[in-house]
Structure 1
Amino acid sequence: MNHLRRVATMGSREHKRIIVCCDGTWMNSIGLKAAAPPSNVTRIAKCFKRQCSDGTPQIIVYDPGVGSGASRVDQLMGGAFGMGLEQNIRGTYNFICNNYLDGDEIILLGFSRGAFTARSVADMIGTFGLLTPEGHEHFNEIFEDYENIADPKRNLNKYMIKLDAYPGEKGRLDWIHKRKKTYIDYLVKNKLTRGRFPDHDEGPDVTIKAIAVWDTVGTLGIPPAPIIGIRGSAAQWKFTDTIISNKVENAFQALALDEPRFAFRPALWERLKENKTNLKQVWFPGNHGGVGGGWWDQGMSDITLAWMVDQLTPLGIEFDHDELTETFCRTLAYQTVHPYPYIPRQIPLPTPHFVKQYFPLPHWLSRLLGKVHSKPWAHGDIYHAPATADPQLRDHDDCPAYKHTPHTPVKLGTPPGRPWALGQLRFPDSFFQCFVGSWVRTPGMTMRVNPENNADTTTPLERTEERIHSSVRVRLACQGLGWDDRAPWECKALTGNPTNGVRWRLVKGKSRERLVGGGKICGSDHEEGVNGETHDNGTLYPLGEGDCDWHWVWDRKGTGRGGKASLEPKVRHIPEEPLDGYWERYLLGLSAGEKGRDVWRFALENPPAVAMH
């Protein structure tokens, strides 16, 4: 991360905003991967204003993901085993230490392992503060001590200061807390760090204004492979855990409902009772790359991008209106000429479902077998046949150019191929990652992990402040398609998990659950524009009173595998995330569909089958 060097300070301004964007595995918008479909980290980094309307500079730095180097070795070791992630954490923390001045704001963004980088940096800032120039002379020693401070097996002589030995498993948490306090006392006493800590509340505090991440994945070392009995490495727990630091003012995470890979289990935050962080974690349709960006059809990742921008805008962070508009219009243009993007063909012979699902045919064999004809991607009242020579003809290969027409020319400006919430959901294209184990994610049922052996416990995380995005309800109501357009989307994560028997039902009305993150009245935010500017609000979708009053209720105590009673979630109601931001309503206004084929109105008038009346 040698590009993360100290930036020049600017004149006599009061403060600046430091924005660090950490990309996901194999993602690199400034290297060899620049021609690949961009992640939401890349796209949002291009949309930040460099100076806000009040004169505040926004310093944006981009950190490529692990495994995005030129060599095959780097791509393999970084992608499969997360090698290079520690270097990214070091570099990001180092950059902030070198550039932070009292009063500055710190914003951290990330996707996948880049999200893990952002969270790890926030955890280190929350634990040890930011090193002073004197402390920076001992940066390597302090970082290694932080990384191993919870390791009971590390030789005590390797630490920079004297720390207590491990007393035994029963006192582990108290032992870690005492070690951290001892270390903080040393850093403060010797003026090696800055910030406020318990018993050290002099001077200005150092906090993280916001962490904004898409689908955190923290797998390091050997990936988990339950199919062959491997739990995977517990190395990620050296850097961070699931508990959000009280030094983080705001934390937002977009989560994927349809990610099947066991190695990509979601890493949700949980909040202690006394913690005041404004935490919000929202579930969206799609797999890991569909939520965080990385497929050519960005229809679903546009929704998570607009949502994230709406979380950050009220904090004073400013975006370029024209650049964001162009970002969304690129997707609409692509969908117009690619109503049926390429998907790998399944094995055509009588084959077990497991093999068909996890081993789609390679590109060359798929093309050899001929074109794939496709199903309508929505209910008949919503679906319209694309203006191509053969409306059912599918692209025979991935096409990166959003203006390229693979069959016959289509006039741009015709209705998008798929309206809001109906973008294509792709199945992961990594055979190895799918083969070693599958998983059904379930909102409200993410379990704590034993940091010693990386094994799941039977205790769900608490105070996770989860919500279900309204695009889930709309996609179910409009009968959008599932993975690779094989069949209508069922959303097994909510409507029926065969692993643990949990089932959620959609209910009309406001949820009884109180979320710390709070919630605005649907459609009330940013009516006059954004960032102090006035824009044409004719594109904002007109939401009605009560349109967003939905929630999901835990339906019953089901049975898991082997007839055993399933575990129960800590909460029984999960609210629907209301569409109350300017950019979400702006995107819906652009892509809700033609008059008479409006997906939002259709979903209100025709609730999905999982709705309780």
Structure 2
Amino acid sequence: MLTFFCGGSVLAKNIIIFSDGTGQAGGLLPDETRSNVYKLYRATRVCPDTSIDPAHQLAFYDVGLGSKAAGGNIRIAWWRRLYNILGSATGLGITQNIIDCYAAILQVWEPDDRIYLLGFSRGAYTVRCVGAALSLCGVPTRSESGEPLRRDPASAKALASEAIRQVYQFGAGKTEKDGTANKLLEGVRNELAADFRKRYASAAPNDANLSNAYPYFIGVWDTVAALGLTTRRFLGLGLAVAVTLGLLALIMDFFLVRFGHYFSAALFWQSYLRVTGLSAAVAVLAYLAFYVKFTTKSKIPWYETLHLTGWKMVFYNTELNPFIQHARHALSIDENRKEFKNVPWTKGKQVVTVGKKGAETQLIQTWFAGVHSDVGGSYIENEARLSDIALKWMIDQAISLPKPLLVDASVLHLWPSADGPQHDERKATVASWPGWFVWLMTLIWKREELGWKPWVREVPRDAPLDPSVLARLQLRAVLRYDLTEPYRPKALEHHVQAHHLYPPANGV
């Protein structure tokens, strides 16, 4: 049973940043599919529904990329819709999400406050990036001129943008031949971070080489690897762009005809080429503005620091910073889409044995039954028993810390169960297509080859499994999307705690 913690000193508070997964935005409808991120946010925020004291804890919620609430600052409806589609498909806007989360911390942080970061899917990527930015830049305590720090939203976002775009993202994606970060650019980024901490007084009081505000706790559900365009989405997006350019060309032709031009195929293609050329020029300029990086603040000549940062949003460093006190990761066993390859943390210098229990443990990564959203949530409540398991686990981890998260249990009603229904987004995607289209595709491919590319997660043989996984393996049968059958995921075929339940490889 969950409990409500109200202890703690009014001299230091919890600051919680929640970042949701793709397409997720809670609180829009009275009866909606909610992720674990939003469910926990509701139980930890200051509002009329909870007993959370703002002197003890403040929470900020960042909606997911591509959700209906994303791009709320865009007033033109059609552009906001296009922005959300691109955000869902390509990860467009995730830099702004990181900036928004960092800015929220700048507005309320005081020395000795504890920062908690929680996220799911691309939101997990976001909070891990925020944690890395905090480790580099800290939290400014004064303006560059030495005057008191301005904390209004516009000032906070401007400062956060400088920290993220000019420091944290410097050198992103530039690697050595062995895949490690480019040493020259990494060294320059460390110089930029040191300069930022000096200018804004955000270094640790007793060590200028350290940040003044490392995250106290990072909790994530199933961090995914790549946020860039897949081949299929690239082709689909290319088709959408071509159609959009055609419509713009027709609009141009409409005005040309009104001024005496005769409409013809030749006129259309001339307009199409003009629109395409102009759009390409704007795209190139935008690309250069956002992705070309260099600095004059380093000891190294500026031209040696000139580079293009990676356009795909992937993790180039999965090592957990040793100064982050507590990190928890709930991982999906059954996610079967190749594009959703998970990214666990690798061990940092001071990380104790993974799976070791106790409040002193820095990193615990545990595997759970179900696909991506069976772990991070976002299915209807009747089908959320598996995600309730992962949510309760994360809450138990967070409230058992020396400085616990404050959770109002009256807002949460969880029903975790090892026999909960399991989903399959590969099958669900194909099932959502028109029957005639599926039939047409099966003339070329097998039905099981349609939709997302298949994948089997690589679960280490000795990886920590949640007890609910072992309980599920013992059940006679469970519902796995469309079939009721024993739970025998291929990912656990060689696991030390599960391999004895599988038939021998030679069938005897």
TM-score (norm: length of structure 2) = 0.63
SS of structure 1 residue aligned to 2:406: coil
Is 1:300 aligned to residue 386 of structure 2? yes
In structure 1, C-alpha distance between the alignment counterparts of 2:129 and 2:332, rounded to whole Å: 21
In structure 2, give the amino acid aligned to 1:87: Q
Alpha-carbon distance change, 439 to 340 in structure 1, aligned in 2, over 3 angstroms: closer
Aligned to 1:47: 43
How far residue 363 of structure 1 moved from its aligned partner, in angstroms, is: 8.7
In structure 1, give the amino acid aligned to 2:99: R
Aligned to 2:34: 38
How far residue 21 of structure 1 moved from its aligned partner, in angstroms, is: 1.1
Whether the aligned pair in 2 keeps the contact of 1:440 and 1:493 (CA below 8 Å) is yes
In structure 2, C-alpha distance between the alignment counterparts of 1:211 and 1:288, rounded to whole Å: 19
Is 1:270 aligned to residue 279 of structure 2? no
In structure 1, C-alpha distance between the alignment counterparts of 2:233 and 2:463, rounded to whole Å: 27
Aligned to 1:235: 312
Pick from 281, 286, 311 the counterpart of residue 370 of structure 2: 286
In structure 1, give the amino acid aligned to 2:38: T
Whether the aligned pair in 2 keeps the contact of 1:22 and 1:114 (CA below 8 Å) is yes
Pick from 326, 331, 338 the counterpart of residue 250 of structure 1: 326
SS of structure 1 residue aligned to 2:44: coil
SS of structure 2 residue aligned to 1:236: coil
Aligned to 1:61: 60
Whether the aligned pair in 2 keeps the contact of 1:227 and 1:437 (CA below 8 Å) is no
Pairing 1:287-366 to 2, within 5 Å after superposition: 287-296=371-380, 297-315=383-401, 316-324=404-412, 327-328=413-414, 357=427, 360-362=430-432
Is 1:123 aligned to residue 122 of structure 2? no
Whether the aligned pair in 2 keeps the contact of 1:129 and 1:193 (CA below 8 Å) is yes
How far residue 323 of structure 1 moved from its aligned partner, in angstroms, is: 2.4
In structure 2, give the amino acid aligned to 1:213: V
Is 1:442 aligned to residue 458 of structure 2? yes
How far residue 487 of structure 1 moved from its aligned partner, in angstroms, is: 4.4
Whether the aligned pair in 1 keeps the contact of 2:386 and 2:422 (CA below 8 Å) is no
Aligned to 1:461: none
Is 1:259 aligned to residue 319 of structure 2? no
Alpha-carbon distance change, 85 to 480 in structure 1, aligned in 2, over 3 angstroms: farther
Whether the aligned pair in 1 keeps the contact of 2:24 and 2:64 (CA below 8 Å) is yes
CA deviation profile, 1:147-179 (whole Å, cap 9, x unmatched): 4422588xxxxxxxxxxxx99989954324422
How far residue 226 of structure 1 moved from its aligned partner, in angstroms, is: 12
Pairing 1:582-597 to 2, within 5 Å after superposition: none
Alpha-carbon distance change, 261 to 209 in structure 1, aligned in 2, over 3 angstroms: same
In structure 2, give the amino acid aligned to 1:442: E
Alpha-carbon distance change, 13 to 227 in structure 1, aligned in 2, over 3 angstroms: closer
Whether the aligned pair in 2 keeps the contact of 1:216 and 1:268 (CA below 8 Å) is yes
Of 175-184 and 313-322, deviating more is 175-184
In structure 1, C-alpha distance between the alignment counterparts of 2:502 and 2:208, rounded to whole Å: 56
In structure 1, give the amino acid aligned to 2:161: N
Pick from 467, 476, 497 the counterpart of residue 464 of structure 2: 467
Alpha-carbon distance change, 124 to 358 in structure 1, aligned in 2, over 3 angstroms: same
Is 1:505 aligned to residue 504 of structure 2? no
SS of structure 2 residue aligned to 1:121: helix
CA deviation profile, 1:96-153 (whole Å, cap 9, x unmatched): 1221100111011111111111111001001221233425665434422224422588
Pick from 87, 103, 106 the counterpart of residue 78 of structure 1: 87
SS of structure 2 residue aligned to 1:300: helix
Whether the aligned pair in 1 keeps the contact of 2:133 and 2:168 (CA below 8 Å) is no
SS of structure 2 residue aligned to 1:328: coil
Is 1:94 aligned to residue 180 of structure 2? no
Pick from 475, 491, 494 the counterpart of residue 492 of structure 2: 494
Aligned to 1:132: 141
In structure 1, C-alpha distance between the alignment counterparts of 2:363 and 2:223, rounded to whole Å: 15
Pick from 211, 215, 227 the counterpart of residue 208 of structure 1: 215
CA deviation profile, 1:238-277 (whole Å, cap 9, x unmatched): x762111123111111111111111111011111234467
How far residue 444 of structure 1 moved from its aligned partner, in angstroms, is: 2.2
Alpha-carbon distance change, 14 to 176 in structure 1, aligned in 2, over 3 angstroms: same
Pairing 1:187-198 to 2, within 5 Å after superposition: 187-195=196-204
How far residue 184 of structure 1 moved from its aligned partner, in angstroms, is: 3.0
Alpha-carbon distance change, 226 to 142 in structure 1, aligned in 2, over 3 angstroms: closer
In structure 2, give the amino acid aligned to 1:301: S
Alpha-carbon distance change, 85 to 34 in structure 1, aligned in 2, over 3 angstroms: farther
In structure 2, C-alpha distance between the alignment counterparts of 1:300 and 1:493, rounded to whole Å: 17
In structure 1, give the amino acid aligned to 2:312: A
In structure 2, C-alpha distance between the alignment counterparts of 1:38 and 1:182, rounded to whole Å: 42
Identity of aligned residues (%): 26
Structure 2 runs not aligned, ≥5 long: 1-8, 70-79, 145-155, 236-309, 353-360, 437-446
Pairing 1:364-383 to 2, within 5 Å after superposition: none
SS of structure 2 residue aligned to 1:122: helix
SS of structure 1 residue aligned to 2:323: coil
How far residue 56 of structure 1 moved from its aligned partner, in angstroms, is: 5.4
Pairing 1:419-430 to 2, within 5 Å after superposition: none
In structure 1, C-alpha distance between the alignment counterparts of 2:449 and 2:90, rounded to whole Å: 11
How far residue 225 of structure 1 moved from its aligned partner, in angstroms, is: 6.5
Aligned to 2:4: none
Whether the aligned pair in 1 keeps the contact of 2:168 and 2:189 (CA below 8 Å) is no
Pairing 1:472-487 to 2, within 5 Å after superposition: 472-481=469-478, 483-487=480-484
Whether the aligned pair in 2 keeps the contact of 1:281 and 1:467 (CA below 8 Å) is yes
In structure 2, give the amino acid aligned to 1:97: L
CA deviation profile, 1:555-609 (whole Å, cap 9, x unmatched): 7xxxxxxxxxxxxxxxxxxxxxxxxxxxxxxxxxxxxxxxxxxxxxxxxxxx945
How far residue 304 of structure 1 moved from its aligned partner, in angstroms, is: 0.6
Is 1:27 aligned to residue 34 of structure 2? no
Higher helix share: 2
SS of structure 1 residue aligned to 2:399: helix
In structure 1, C-alpha distance between the alignment counterparts of 2:159 and 2:395, rounded to whole Å: 37
In structure 2, C-alpha distance between the alignment counterparts of 1:258 and 1:174, rounded to whole Å: 37
SS of structure 2 residue aligned to 1:130: coil
In structure 1, C-alpha distance between the alignment counterparts of 2:109 and 2:41, rounded to whole Å: 19
Alpha-carbon distance change, 55 to 357 in structure 1, aligned in 2, over 3 angstroms: closer
Whether the aligned pair in 2 keeps the contact of 1:261 and 1:433 (CA below 8 Å) is no
Alpha-carbon distance change, 197 to 357 in structure 1, aligned in 2, over 3 angstroms: farther
